[in-house]
Amino acid sequence: MSARSVDLLVIGAGPAGIAAATEAAGLGLSVSVMDEQSRPGGQIYRGIETASPKRLAVLGKDYAAGRSLTESFRSSAAEYLPDTLVWNIGSDRSVDFSRGGRAQQMNPSAILVATGALERPMPIPGWTLPGVTTAGALQILLKSSGIVRDNCVLAGAGPLLWLVATQMIAAGARPAAIVENLPRGRIVAGLRHLPGALRAREYLFKGLAMIARVKAAGVPVYANATGLAIEGSTQAEAITFSSGGRQHRIETDAIALHQGVVPNQQITRLVGAEHRWDAAQACFHPVLDARFRTSADSIYVAGDGAAINGARPAALQGRLAALLIAEDQGRRVGTERIRRLQAGIARDKSVRPMLETIYAPAPEILAPADSTLICRCEEVTAGEIRSVVDLGAPGPNQIKSMLRAGMGPCQGRVCGLAVAQIIADRKGETPEETGYYRIRPPIKPITLAELAAYAPDEDAPRAASGDAAA
Amino acid sequence: MVPSRARRIEEVRTISFEFEGLAVQAQEGDSVAAALTAAGIVDLRDSPVSGAPRGIYCMMGACFDCLVEIDGQPNRQACMCEVREGLVVRRQQGRAELEL
């Protein structure tokens, strides 16, 4: 059996991935799209193909706009491989993946990583109790299954927190409260960037309208909350915090946390691409040139996996990346189209400095108390990480060896940034100097049965997966 | 406390499966995790380290907190598996046993 070759493999079927695949297929490239979900749309347009008119109305027009993207993708010549897990990429770009219980291999000439964002870890006491989810999880329940939770407390900060609140209200499930942990002074600091942000003012109007709708619905909003903690023994029972100079305790068994989203680094780390620490956003970005190229040969990134900009610019970036990849592969591409896409992306990005200033993570989330669990899988606390740093552990990989943090099934997806930040702060350096977990294949657990069925091309050069040094 | 009843805003075709011996009604297209949430079930497994209960967290396949046993196969992400008629789902207790 020989592994298939394609001009372009797109990993991820969110807006960036499907827009790129549609565009590249239109230019005559052979394109495959692999995605872990059963239907296209990613998390932002999750359930878009199956959502009822009622669900579309509740979720709003920005969500409904995703349908034209998935329709164009479905009618394109791109091959779509849903329910497919990419678990290794070799230095020769050979891609190992599992589909239908069988491991297989593909050899693309170029790879576009469009794996989007993850929610930033928000480690507070009690965040592992059943009943506590991310705000994104609450939204996914609504998008994919039309499920809402009544009397939910939304805690944290960020545009998504307000969006989820308005969608819950529209669905008839008004949240019990919003506990916003935005530090004082952030709005004023953000106003400095208002003139630039006015280029994409519709985002600002949407944000203000969301906040107004939540307040008009009578949802109590606790501002500048600090000391957030969740109580409970076998499930969440209450959230406690300080706000307005008083200590509060709200009894609830449903709490959704949010502290912004960050690029999903698993694949760009796996291929050894260079990453840079963004101090303002407290996250890592893969380093890209103006043509969306990483430092790894013929591996590109578009969308929120490169830097957080949102769904609309992600789709524009996907299209632009496809044009540039086609050009890199010797196709002729119209320069006017490239210029228009670049202008559209720049316009949408103009709102980011203001949003990033206002919604940078709260300092207390970046510096959790010693007793707070950081690694949910292996139950490692902030204090344990700090004490191993004091013993001389230089970075996340040593913390992983000594404490198993990041060694559980999530492989650091949830805790990675928190662990890097805690180590860096303890050592008095930047997370750029501290570094990040070394991400090794398989990047998600696969079964021995899947591996047993693995039959890659015998003649093809083998992946760097065997190169497990250090 | 006012309990946070989970409920559906619309009805589609109903299917049924089993969780810990109890019949659970789900709807076509639900993930196992979504169907259990709608049924008010939040405790899906015990952590392999402390034995503390865990439930859904990210619902997008990243956190692995919703690991359950499905039709005898342990370590399945409940949020990534679509419900099918007659599935037998069990809580996962601690680490999955490796059967050879």
In this model, does residue A423 exceed pLDDT 70? yes
In a domain, A81, yes or no: yes
Distance from CA of A98 to the nearest CA of B (A): 14
The single-letter DSSP state of residue A205 is H
Predicted confidence band of residue B96 (pLDDT cuts 50, 70, 90): low
- Which of A48, A52, A119, A145 to mutate to probe the B interface, most B CBs <10 Å? A145
- Structural domain of A17: 4-118+262-333
ipTM: 0.94
- Both A198 and A245 in a single domain? yes
- Both A286 and A170 in a single domain? no
In total, the C-beta contacts within 8 angstroms joining chain A to chain B are 151
Name residue B19's beta-bridge partners.
Answer: B22, B89
- Both A114 and A143 in a single domain? no
- Both A142 and A87 in a single domain? no
In a domain, A464, yes or no: no
Tell me the Cα Rg of chain A.
22
- Both A58 and A171 in a single domain? no
Cα separation, A362 vs A371, whole angstroms:
18
Q: Among A24-28, A235-239, A458-462, B4-8, whose mean pLDDT is lowest?
A: A458-462
DSSP for A338-352, please give it. HHHHHHHHHHHHTTH
- CA-nearest residue to B28 within chain A is A145
- In 10 A of CB B97, how many CB atoms? 6
Q: Among A13-22, A63-72, A355-364, A456-465, whose mean pLDDT is lowest?
A: A456-465
Q: Which CATH architecture has domain B14-91?
A: Roll (3.10)
Pick from A172, A176, A414: which is nearest to B63 by CB?
A414
Backbone angles phi, psi at A319, to 5 degrees: -60, -45
Encode pLDDT of A18-43 as tens digits.
999 999 999 999 999 999 999 999 99
In a domain, A468, yes or no: no
In a domain, A295, yes or no: yes
Distance from CA of B89 to the nearest CA of A (A): 18
- Both A282 and A389 in a single domain? no
Distance from CA of A185 to the nearest CA of B (A): 30
Q: At residue A271, what is the residue type?
A: V
Residue A454: what pLDDT? 87
CATH code of A402's domain: 1.10.10.1100
Q: Round the average pLDDT of chain B to a whole number and report it.
A: 92
Ranges of each domain in chain B = 14-91
In this model, does residue A5 exceed pLDDT 80? yes
Cβ separation B3–A151 shorter than 8 A: yes
- Both A285 and A380 in a single domain? no
* A154, A177 contact by CB (below 8 A): yes
Measured between beta carbons, which residues in chain B are less than 8 angstroms from residue A36? Answer: 61, 80
- CA-nearest residue to A168 within chain B is B9
Cβ separation A253–B1 shorter than 8 A: yes
In this model, does residue A223 exceed pLDDT 60? yes
In this model, does residue B12 exceed pLDDT 90? no
When divided into structural domains, chain A yields a total of 3
In a domain, A344, yes or no: no
Encode pLDDT of A331-383 as tens digits.
999 999 999 999 999 999 999 999 999 999 999 999 999 999 999 999 999 99
Pick from B9, B55, B59: which is nearest to A172 by CB?
B9
- Both A325 and A405 in a single domain? no
- Both A188 and A76 in a single domain? no
Measured between beta carbons, which residues in chain B are less than 8 angstroms from residue A152? Answer: 4
User: pLDDT > 70: what percent of chain A?
Assistant: 97
Q: Which helix (H) or strand (E) holds A132?
A: strand A132-134
- CA-nearest residue to A144 within chain B is B30
- Both A205 and A269 in a single domain? no
- Both A22 and A104 in a single domain? yes
- Both A140 and A247 in a single domain? yes
Q: How far is CA A236 from CA A177, B42, B48, in A?
A: 15, 10, 20
